[in-house]
Amino acid sequence: MTTTKKPGRELRAEVPGGSIIAWQAGDGPWVLVLHGGPGLSDYTESLADELADAYSVIRFQQRGLAPSTTSGPFDVERHVADAVAVLDAAGAERAYVVGHSWGGHLAMHLAVAHPDRLLGLLVVDPLGAVPDGGVGEMGQNLVSRMSPAQLARAAALQEREEAGEATEEDALAGLANVWPGYFARPDQAPPMPPIGLSVDCYAGTFESIQRHFEDKTLEQGLPSLRMPTVFVLGAGSPIPNQYGVASAALIPGASHRIEPDCGHFPWLERPGTVRAALDSICE
């Protein structure tokens, strides 16, 4: 997993506030990959590599961090529009969409808002479609997986936040502190890659996510979808599986797979699982 190598053709989608930068590699049916966060730099290169021998894979840096525009607004509607702009820039009239974590939540919003642009939907260990998506229990589970040293670091960072002294560097330190807990076997977690974070994008997008939970946007919209859909869930993910299962149940004909010995990053912990799921909806 890396955030530095940018292989393939670079794409630029002009959007309000600047540009969204994307990369396309491979040849075959179009696949759009949506990274998680929100407010994180793109980390999906290794996932794209798993798919690019049979698909034309597009991934992009979501707004909030360079090289894409760092300006807002940071809300679900703008992120959806940015994804459509990337498809347009690539010349992809329709695509399969693969979304991970927050990107899986975004993929569901994209499917509801623009079903005509999707060939199918693959949702990987997502923030769920039903309130609160699993965020609360995820936080509790991550804490339960911390060592005493990690708990002490978390307490120190919390003190800085409560004192109004927290910085984006502190936020990244907090992410690094919980990073092993995202994996089914925290003691075997790979090092966290170099990654960027936008606190403004994270906060603004989550406010928008909460509004959509209150409005039941996905609960009311997902039952109207008619496209092949698979959810891939990690049995050992800090996000409880029931949120992904409940989200899949809202989409007619959707299925879910709970992968053993997997946490939040199935393609890293069990290589080939996401590729197999994508192949199944493209048959």
How many separate domains does the chain show? 1
Residue 91 identity: G
Measured between alpha carbons, how far is 283 from 276 in angstroms, rounded to an integer?
Answer: 11
pLDDT band for position 161 (cuts 50, 70, 90): confident
For residue 266, the model assigns a pLDDT of 97
In a domain, 276, yes or no: yes
For residue 7, the model assigns a pLDDT of 55
For residue 5, the model assigns a pLDDT of 41
The tens digit of pLDDT for each residue in 257-282 reads 999 999 999 999 999 999 999 999 98
Q: Which residues are within 8 A (CB) of 244 and not within 5 positions of it... i.e. 6 or more apart?
A: 123, 125, 126, 128, 231, 233, 256
pLDDT band for position 165 (cuts 50, 70, 90): confident
Mean pLDDT of 62-87: 97
> Which domain covers residue 223, as residue numbers?
9-134+193-282
- 77 pLDDT more than 90: yes
Instruction: Measure Cα distances from 49 to 100, 150, 253 in Å.
Output: 15, 32, 28
pTM of the model: 0.95
For residue 104, the model assigns a pLDDT of 98
SS3 call for 267 = helix
Residue 204 identity: G
The tens digit of pLDDT for each residue in 115-155 reads 999 999 999 999 999 999 999 999 999 999 999 999 999 89
Give percent of the chain above pLDDT 90. Answer: 90
For residue 2, the model assigns a pLDDT of 34
For residue 6, the model assigns a pLDDT of 44
Q: Are strands 255-259 and 30-34 parallel, antiparallel or unpaired?
A: unpaired
In a domain, 181, yes or no: no
Residue 209 identity: I
In a domain, 187, yes or no: no
In a domain, 259, yes or no: yes
CATH code for the domain of 71: 3.40.50.1820
In a domain, 178, yes or no: no
In a domain, 149, yes or no: no
Mean pLDDT of 92-111: 98
In a domain, 54, yes or no: yes
Mean pLDDT of 61-90: 97
Distance separating the N- and C-terminal Cα atoms of the chain:
28
pLDDT band for position 97 (cuts 50, 70, 90): very high
In a domain, 278, yes or no: yes
